[in-house]
């Protein structure tokens, strides 16, 4: 027996969106596989795209560089940790530099006011990072985002969110220097992270 395709019902169905509290409860109940990378984006549970070896290598390189060069006890580096950006959004940026807390955020995930810099490494998720993630981050008024664009071998630096968007990014290519706005003692070149 051949099954007929189901017609597109997108216009006639309503979506059920989730809050961060509901998302965490569902996760705690074991509904999702332990190794499944999921994020809550504007109430929607989305799966994170699989990453390439180059993505992992680049993320690890940046993390190692930050660990070696961040000597300020006032900041902490979070590697793929959740951020509570709003009641309906809990993304997991690749790397986040946050204001330090004595409990290392054991009692609660960082909120927008805690964030100094978010770094997203992107190859196959480049468009998602540019569209959905930047929109989330600008709404939350995250002061600075770096997208390590592995496709075009450049770093896109977004600063000064204005409402629902960031102004045109500064593009850093091989040989260019990068310094986070709120962490002026951290100076690196794009060569150190682009491969």
Give the pLDDT confidence of 87-134 residue by residue, as tens digits. 999 999 999 999 999 999 999 999 999 999 999 999 887 887 788 899
Distances (CA, A) of 168 to 47, 78, 156, 158, 176: 28, 26, 9, 7, 17
Mean pLDDT of 35-48: 89
Q: What is the pTM of this model?
A: 0.89
| CATH number corresponding to 51-192 | 3.90.1570.10
> What integer pLDDT is reported at residue 132 of this predicted model?
86
Rounded CA gap, 91 and 142, in Å?
Answer: 13
Strand partners, 40: 45, 90
Mean pLDDT of 177-194: 93
Q: By three-state DSSP, how is residue 93 classified? A: coil
Cβ neighbourhood burial of 188 (10 Å; 0-12, 13-18, 19+): middle
> What integer pLDDT is reported at residue 180 of this predicted model?
96
Q: pLDDT by residue (tens digit) across 52-96?
A: 999 999 999 999 999 999 887 899 999 999 999 999 999 999 999
The separation between CA 187 and the C-alpha centre of its own chain, rounded to angstroms, equals 21
52 close to 123: Cβ distance less than 8 angstroms: yes
């Amino acid at each position: 027996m051949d099954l007929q395709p189901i017609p597109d019902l997108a216009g006639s169905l309503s979506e059920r969106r989730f809050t961060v509290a509901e998302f965490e409860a569902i996760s705690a109940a074991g509904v999702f596989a332990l190794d499944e990378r999921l994020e809550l984006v504007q109430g929607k549970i989305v799966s994170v795209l699989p990453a390439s070896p180059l993505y992992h290598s680049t993320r690890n390189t940046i993390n190692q560089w930050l660990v070696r060069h961040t000597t300020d006890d006032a900041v902490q580096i979070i590697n793929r940790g959740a951020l509570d950006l709003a009641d309906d959004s809990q993304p997991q940026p690749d790397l986040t530099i946050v204001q330090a807390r004595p409990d290392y955020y054991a009692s609660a995930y960082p909120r927008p006011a805690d964030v100094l810099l978010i770094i997203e490494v992107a190859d196959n998720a480049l468009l998602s990072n540019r569209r959905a993630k930047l929109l989330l981050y600008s709404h939350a008024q995250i002061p600075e985002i770096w997208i390590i664009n592995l496709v075009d071998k450049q770093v896109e630096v977004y600063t000064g969110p204005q409402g629902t968007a960031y102004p045109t990014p500064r593009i850093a290519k091989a040989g260019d220097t990068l310094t986070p706005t709120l962490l002026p003692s951290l100076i690196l070149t794009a060569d150190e992270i682009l491969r």
